[in-house]
Structure 1
């Protein structure tokens, strides 16, 4: 399957399916009831939407890259992996955003129609900007929403769920960049270039989730 063909299959997948896909990656997924899972997903999406609107209003710009340049200290590296994991960007509080030029260039070189380097940079920086907001605002849903891991004599040991943060970051970048497809399309295209198994397992999971949702 060519990158353009893969992109074409990924574009129609709805946000709800991408949210389920992200939650399925979380190590705490089995600790969460279906009802609580639905609440966390909805809360994450709403959080991402709210912060995208807020940052645009506060900073007077709608371009994610320009916004990142205004709010963060951006550095670049030619490395394409850390401990055998491929990254497009990393964020370190309070405002350090590192872009990994090699995989970004590799994605741009796929020459998928409409998927330019500028689009890729906006998607990448949009995602990391949400994590900037997480460090700035203590009352975000992604930091306050928790699940019970265990309880003893009335004590409840709770934890945040990482997937909620990733769902919010996806929704944030989606709204900020006014995309017609999920920002996670970038991740699947990246798998097609770097993973030994390619993008097929991820695509199969997304297709299965789509079938389950429409059943």
Structure 2
């Protein structure tokens, strides 16, 4: 039974990796060749989930499972992505542009603002992915996709590298990356909603997680928390 379970798990991982790879390739092709931002959205989305699994396999091997793709990231996650896609499709990818047009700025200024918005989207996606992946790599076995309520033997307090600048770089990375997905789609409403919902989510999660971290590391974490910001605006 154990081998059967292992075989099923490996098969599921292989199929999921192949599927995500195909989505990435097709999305990237559609984005680059035809200029459809929705293709770029799917390319960055699939790459994110592939990297979550790969980095877990490489640096947190003891935690590895199909769940490491974090495709089962909750109904709210996929609902939010669906809402973003719908806004893009219904507005033709011009939701943000339509809002800017309502301000009746000169056409050259509108074009400039929209260009900055699109360029910022790529910057957000790349920066967010870099921060997220770097945080997972540098934390090593101390990183977990699930808030740990008990300290295991491999759980260390990481305060160097990227953690010397922000306490929760993986959350900051995801926050920035998620906003980038909506900006790439040209969304206005979803970008605002994502920022509000994610801020509330991470505010609650950081409060819960840091209560455990204080119980694990005591004064060491208290001192670290005083010196280093969380990295997310308005969350100390």
Task: Say whether the fold is shared (TM-score over 0.5).
Answer: no
- Which has a greater percent of strand? 1
- Which has a greater percent of helix? 2
* Higher RCO (CA < 8 A, seq sep 6+): 1
Q: Larger Rg: 1 or 2?
A: 2
| TM-score normalized by the length of structure 1 | 0.29
